[in-house]
Chain A
Amino acid sequence: MNAPDVSTAGEDRAPRRLDPRTILIRSLQGSPSLVLGLPVFVAWSRGEGFPLGLLLAGTGLLLTVTLFVSWLRWRAFTYRILPGQLVIAHGLIKRTRRSIPAERIQDVSIKQGLLARLFGLAEVRIETGGGEADEGQLDSVSLSEAHRLRQVLRSIRTHGGVARAEGGEEEAAETLLFRMELPRLVYSGVFRFSMVWIAAIFGLLQYADQALGYGWDRWLEMLGLAEQALQSRLDITVVMGLSGFALAFGLLAGIVRTVLRNFGFELTHAEARFRYRRGLFTRTEVVVAKRQIQLGLVERGAVSGRMGWRAFKVQTLGGGDHVSGRQELAPFARPDELAPIIALAGLPPSEPSRLRSVSPWHIVSGVIGFVATPAVTLLAATAFFPLAGLLLATLPVFLAVALLRRRCHRYGLASTSVQVRRGVLTRRDWTIPYGNVQAVSVTRGPVQRLLGVCTVRIDTAGGRGLNRPHVHDIDEADAAAFVGDLIQRVESFRRGTSLSAT
């Protein structure tokens, strides 16, 4: 009844189950701490005098229960393709049956994690553009089933009925828009220099430490010895060597992370749809329909940007595997490579000449927020932790950022879009077509009220997280004119399209 790889149109009516190998993957994924932590626990409990047999029996029982629950969940999860809709039913105790109408399906993306790749499985996500809750997720089916599903779902979407699934009818030929070769990938990694990873590695070391039963005090002791040894000849070369090592490590971490994430990055385009593939271990393939795109964002890194490199992201309505709801269509490209992509995304070109600066008070509020407040806090903190005083040394950097802030912040109404530029270190350029502006808020905090400025927040669909196109610290009079004009343009845009539609 649920042979996963047979694919004729008639059989689609019958409910199917996910690939049985999913059970194994789920239990493995669900309990990485179990798999990794078990040896640690065994080592520890041996020391405490637990009998080994009891431990093994307990572990066995736990594994059996996990597998059994996974199996039950697998059994309860079915999906079927009916004429004009996909029906997903799941839930052990509370049964849920979700039907996704074919015309709502924006696209079908396929994602393969490392474990899934080993087993030849893939996760299929049915994107509806209705946000997380309305989306269908099949985790996981065999890769061939995933491709078959994508074709069937696409064809029922376009032809309105269950069409012939196989026959290998590919969609219109895709044109390659952008590709990252290995040299460029590695080069882009150089700019992702990160110190965060060093912390992560220290965390890992500490974990391994427990696993090896090698006490923390032992490390401290060693550190103390090292310190003694060092202090005898602590000179400039040692410090230089150490910081050089840290730098090299941060560099390597950035490169490794970038290569893992963006390996084989490829962006193609066909029929008003982008498709990108990336990743070394976790291979992701995501489709972004042009009509899902809410806004465009061009990022110019602090160093790489000055060397002429940009990243292009779009914010989509639902879908994607990004927490921010943003999809990176080109992670590291030249502006002339980006221009055709931006045009194909239906986004108007950036018009920097039409942008204006915000109020000079923007600098003042930056100085208050980034410099004065942290300075006072730090000074107060030094009373209790004298070491916090060291952080005061970083304040000039923040002061510089605050002073440059206004020069880097611009906004304006272009012919078909509202455009915002912001960011001292990383410069971000947002382009929001008038048709995608959902609401506008003007907020004024206590300090802003004192200075007579306000923040204009432009709300779009699917915009979450950091780095949204807010315009900070505009003069109140300018803000009133800006918002009034913006709303009028949004309204007249709507009227224009509704007229042309009827």
Chain B
Amino acid sequence: MPFELVQLQPLERGYLRVLRIRSAIGWTILSAIAAAADAILHVRTGVSPGVVAGPVVLLGVLATIVLVPRRWRRWGYAFTDSELHVARGWLTRVHTVVPVSRVQHIDVSQGPIERGAGVAVLSLHTAGTENSLVVLPGISRLRAEAIRDAIRGRISDAPW
């Protein structure tokens, strides 16, 4: 039974693509290292090639196809006009609530892969310690800017 404080919205599908590409890049690098290790091992000890690289490639394919969508599905967010909710995490679920008036400043950023997928990252800075930076990735740029402007309007009339 899912427990949520509010109705959460999923992230953009574009972000799933971002996660997939990132995962693919990471696993490709790992596979390359594994292949190199394989080659060395083969020359040195004569073990049949593919002992190291095989499982790594398999794991990579599995992660990119099966695990990444699961991770993506675990994200969720909601913006009511007084607070921002961000939920994430697979093994340990974390649901963070930031009251809008406690936001110190806001960034909207886009990396190259994200630009291609049409998503942006919204970062909220608070004066807290554990949650001094609350990051919400994978929402459309328009949505991110709308939230930013709504929050900006709210914090400008706070005492500091």
Chain A residues within 8 Å of B, Cβ to Cβ = 317, 437-446, 449, 452, 454, 457, 459-464, 476-477, 479-480, 483-484, 487-488, 490-491, 494-495, 497-498, 501-502
A445 to B90 CA separation, bound complex (whole angstroms): 9
A477 to B158 CA separation, bound complex (whole angstroms): 31
Which residues of chain A are near B21, meaning CB under 8 Å?
Answer: none
A463 and B130 within 8 A (CB) = yes
A438 and B102 within 8 A (CB) = yes
B92 and A459 within 8 A (CB) = no
Q: Taking CB as reference atom, which chain B residue is nearest A495?
A: B101
Number of B residues near A (Cβ < 8 Å) is 29
Which residues of chain A are near B30, meaning CB under 8 Å?
Answer: none
Q: Measured between C-beta atoms, what is the minimum distance from A121 to chain B in Å?
A: 33
Which residues of chain A are near B98, meaning CB under 8 Å?
Answer: 438-439
Asked if B82 is at the interface (CB within 8 A of a chain A CB), the reply is yes
Q: Which of B95, B100, B130 contacts A459 (CB 8 A)?
A: B130
21 pairs of residues in contact across A and B, judged by CB atoms under 8 Å = A437-B102, A439-B99, A439-B102, A439-B126, A439-B134, A442-B95, A443-B92, A443-B94, A452-B1, A454-B3, A459-B129, A459-B131, A460-B128, A461-B129, A463-B129, A479-B3, A483-B5, A488-B82, A490-B102, A498-B101, A501-B159
Q: Which of A445, A452, A460 contacts B129 (CB 8 A)?
A: A460
A461 and B94 within 8 A (CB) = no
B128 and A459 within 8 A (CB) = yes
Which residues of chain A are near B82, meaning CB under 8 Å?
Answer: 487-488, 491
Asked if B127 is at the interface (CB within 8 A of a chain A CB), the reply is yes
Asked if B61 is at the interface (CB within 8 A of a chain A CB), the reply is no
CB neighbors of A among B1-25 (8 A): 1, 3-5
Q: Taking CB as reference atom, which chain A residue is nearest B92?
A: A445
B92 and A441 within 8 A (CB) = no
Which residues of chain B are near A491, meaning CB under 8 Å?
Answer: 82-83, 99-101
The contact string, 1 if C-beta is below 8 Å from chain A, for chain B 132-160, is 00100000000000000000000001110
B92 and A444 within 8 A (CB) = yes
State whether A457 and B130 are in contact (beta carbons under 8 Å apart), knowing that A490-B102, A491-B101, A501-B159 are contacts in the complex: yes
A408 to B91 CA separation, bound complex (whole angstroms): 28
Q: Taking CB as reference atom, which chain B residue is nearest A457?
A: B130
A444 to B2 CA separation, bound complex (whole angstroms): 12
B93 and A487 within 8 A (CB) = no
A440 to B134 CA separation, bound complex (whole angstroms): 11
Q: Taking CB as reference atom, which chain A residue is nearest B130?
A: A459
Q: Taking CB as reference atom, which chain B residue is nearest A294?
A: B127
Q: Taking CB as reference atom, which chain A residue is nearest B158?
A: A498
A494 and B158 within 8 A (CB) = yes
Asked if B97 is at the interface (CB within 8 A of a chain A CB), the reply is yes
A467 to B128 CA separation, bound complex (whole angstroms): 16
Which residues of chain A are near B130, meaning CB under 8 Å?
Answer: 439, 441, 457, 459, 463
A494 to B154 CA separation, bound complex (whole angstroms): 11
Q: Measured between C-beta atoms, what is the minimum distance from A129 to chain B in Å?
A: 10
A484 and B5 within 8 A (CB) = yes
State whether A438 and B127 are in contact (beta carbons under 8 Å apart), knowing that A446-B91, A487-B97, A491-B99 are contacts in the complex: yes
B97 and A439 within 8 A (CB) = yes
Q: Measured between C-beta atoms, what is the minimum distance from B68 to chain A in Å?
A: 20
Q: Which of B89, B92, B97, B158 contacts A483 (CB 8 A)?
A: B97
- If A480-B4, A494-B158 are given as contacts, then 11 extra A-B residue pairs at C-beta distance below 8 Å, sorted by A number, are A438-B131, A439-B98, A444-B3, A444-B92, A444-B93, A446-B91, A454-B93, A460-B128, A476-B3, A479-B3, A491-B82
Q: Taking CB as reference atom, which chain A residue is nearest B87?
A: A442
B157 and A498 within 8 A (CB) = yes
A441 and B96 within 8 A (CB) = yes
B93 and A441 within 8 A (CB) = no
A174 to B93 CA separation, bound complex (whole angstroms): 50
Which residues of chain A are near B127, meaning CB under 8 Å?
Answer: 317, 438, 461
Q: Measured between C-beta atoms, what is the minimum distance from B3 to chain A in Å?
A: 4
B99 and A461 within 8 A (CB) = no
A488 to B94 CA separation, bound complex (whole angstroms): 20
A356 to B129 CA separation, bound complex (whole angstroms): 26
CB neighbors of A among B63-100 (8 A): 82-83, 89, 91-100
A444 to B82 CA separation, bound complex (whole angstroms): 24
Q: Taking CB as reference atom, which chain B residue is nearest A463?
A: B129
A437, A462, A498 interface centre (most CB from chain B within 10 Å) = A498
Which residues of chain A are near B95, meaning CB under 8 Å?
Answer: 441-443
Q: Taking CB as reference atom, which chain A residue is nearest B82?
A: A491
A166 to B107 CA separation, bound complex (whole angstroms): 47
State whether A438 and B93 are in contact (beta carbons under 8 Å apart), knowing that A480-B5, A491-B101, A494-B99 are contacts in the complex: no
Which residues of chain A are near B5, meaning CB under 8 Å?
Answer: 442, 480, 483-484
Which residues of chain A are near B100, meaning CB under 8 Å?
Answer: 491
A502 to B89 CA separation, bound complex (whole angstroms): 41
Q: Measured between C-beta atoms, what is the minimum distance from A317 to chain B in Å?
A: 8
Q: Measured between C-beta atoms, what is the minimum distance from B152 to chain A in Å?
A: 15
State whether A445 and B91 are in contact (beta carbons under 8 Å apart), knowing that A464-B129, A487-B97, A491-B82 are contacts in the complex: yes
A491 to B99 CA separation, bound complex (whole angstroms): 7
Q: Taking CB as reference atom, which chain A residue is nearest B89?
A: A443
Q: Which of A440, A443, A490, A498 contacts B93 (CB 8 A)?
A: A443
State whether A459 and B126 are in contact (beta carbons under 8 Å apart), knowing that A439-B102, A442-B94, A443-B94 are contacts in the complex: yes
Which residues of chain A are near B3, meaning CB under 8 Å?
Answer: 444, 452, 454, 476-477, 479-480
Which residues of chain B are near A484, meaning CB under 8 Å?
Answer: 5
Q: Which of A441, A483, A490 contacts B131 (CB 8 A)?
A: A441
